[in-house]
Amino acid sequence: MTTITVETAFVEKTPLERYVAPEKPSLVGVTRSQLAALLGAVGVPEAQRKMRVQQLWHWIYFRGFTEFEQMTSLSKELRARLSENFTLARPEVVAEQVSVDGTRKWLLRLPGEVQGERPHEVECVYIPDTERGTLCVSSQVGCTLTCSFCHTGTQRFVRNLTADEIVGQVMVARDRLGDWPGGTRPSDGVIPTGDRCVTNVVMMGMGEPLYNLDAVRDALLIVADGEGLTISKRRITLSTSGVVPNIERAGAEIGCMLAVSLHAVRDELRNELVPLNRKYPIAQLLEACRNYPGVSNAKRITFEYVMLKGVNDSIEDAKALVRLLKGIPAKINLIPFNPWPGSKYECSDWEQIEKFSQVVFDAGYASPVRTPRGRDILAACGQLKSATEKLSARERMALRAMAMTD
């Protein structure tokens, strides 16, 4: 087995910058109670607020309107007052890339830019299939953590996203995909055949969601609201590297599906791959999973396991994985390592991945091997890195070469 030495001596990064609110706040991403308070602040009588909240919620999240003037059920006077004090701004699409397999990646610039400072940007990825479309959403600019196999982990941790910036990614995706009533679907790439383009949301983009739990909770509850974006909690998955104290809170306060980035069966190796393990070792993490609210055979926890050649892909590792997860309703998602310029790992050979998968399957666990999507545009799992740190020309050439050899 290959021995990997991680140079990173720290577990978590501290934020380098702070959130600067735009001059006029956006109503996208505020809760119903927050929306009622904002309406009160601009003079909407208390007796009218519940009705006005309901109307705005419909226009913003069901119809996807971007201008108050479009909201014909509101009086002209109220529309003018709302326009004067608020916006419906989403993140700005700086760039869009479409992979040969139909995956789309958007580089999004966040509102609240400060003159003279580098704008804050994140990446958001849309992965279409014939019957569903999964949106991979970011929770931080950069990442708190330092996972050695993940491209985002090499980036600076700039700051947490706000709830409106998280919801805004979903809104932008639906805008770009024509995923509102009467919208026009794009003609390039793959689009699901059903009524909705975005059917699933996964918090698997840039950042560790459980280090930004309050904003992630507020955002996902808006995404799941049955009178707006209406994405079922069973179609929303939050992925964590193992912030143990917040796992139970996420289950109790959000109630979505849980995915855990495990990647190793021994603390010694996981300390290197996922340095957060030094703080919350495997035994603590799995105990938190056993106690996740609502976990059952109908609501299984997904354990993600990246396949690294000669590092964690032996048959002995597969058998140990099965033993570790005994008693936890689970499925195991095997992820072929997606290379990025400068990474020191290689993807396991396909034959070895199949052998590993068979051991897990024979033990009674679903063990799908995730098909790499969007590698050619650096949009696959573990490859996201915003233009806050742009790739050099040499890195882009190396990326294209790796994509061509897969």
Q: What is the DSSP letter of 372?
A: P
How far apart are the two ends of the chain, measured CA to CA in Å? 23
Cα(124)–Cα(155) distance, integer angstroms: 16
Between helix 315-324 and helix 350-362 the angle, nearest 10°, is: 30
Burial class (CB in 10 A: 0-12, 13-18, 19+), 130: exposed
Determine the Cα–Cα distance for residues 300 and 274; give it in Å rounded to an integer.
23
Closest among 74, 92, 82, 109 to 24, alpha carbons compared: 82
The helix-helix angle for 282-290 and 244-253 (nearest 10°) equals 20
Backbone torsions φ then ψ of 284, nearest 5 degrees: -65, -40
**Number of residues written out for the chain:** 406
Strands (E) across 145-211 are located at 159-160, 200-203
Would you call 312 helix, strand, or coil by DSSP? Answer: coil
C-alpha of 27 from chain center:
22
- Distance CA(225)–CA(31), nearest Å, equals 10
Residue 32, SS3?
helix
* Cβ contact 335:370 at 8 Å: yes
CA angle 118, 123, 126 (to 5 degrees): 160
Whether 381 is catalytic is: yes
387 alpha carbon, distance to own chain's centre: 17
Burial 11-32 (b: 16+ CB within 10 A, else e): bebebebebeeeeebbbbbbbb
Catalytic residue check, 143? no
- Distance set, CA 368 to CA 150, 202, 334, 394 (Å): 21, 17, 6, 34
Among 121, 123, 208, 272, the active-site one is 123
> Which neighbouring-strand residues pair with 301?
330
**Catalytic entry in 124, 147, 197, 381:** 381
Closest CA to 355 of 338, 367, 337, 346: 367
Active-site residue list:
123, 381
